[in-house]
Amino acid sequence: MYSGIAESPWNRQNSPSIKKKKLALPLAAAVAGQEDPVRWEIHQDWANRKYIELITSSIKKIAYFLNSFNLSCRSRLATLNEKLTALERRIEYIEARVAKGETLHLELCQAASGKLL
């Protein structure tokens, strides 16, 4: 029973013709690299440019996410601030009514007992 690709008898990687091609390609690339260092430098330059482009696009994505997160948080905080302000005003109003009610109740009690100042 075959558990992996390398063990199968029909695997093309084990065929002699492919092994020859695999050996020939790196050898040809090495020879071409020795013959033409400019071509190798151009290849390295393109590889570096692709890497820089990948990093740049990743940074742009992060900046976009952070900006949208910032706007979302500001919006939510503004909404919460409005709700909190409304609650504070309502509490002040209720406190004023309670204080006035207690004062009015105290004055009524004092007037009824004849101790009005």
Q: What is the mean pLDDT of residues 5-33?
A: 49
Report the predicted TM-score, pTM, of the whole model to 2 decimal places. Answer: 0.47
Mean pLDDT of the chain: 77
Percent of the chain residues past pLDDT 70, beyond the cut: 61
State the DSSP string of 92-113.
HHHHHHHHHHHHHHHHHHHHHH
- Name the residue with higher pLDDT: 73 or 14: 73
DSSP 8-state class, residue 15: S
- Cα(20)–Cα(28) distance, integer angstroms: 12
- Cα(117)–Cα(106) distance, integer angstroms: 11
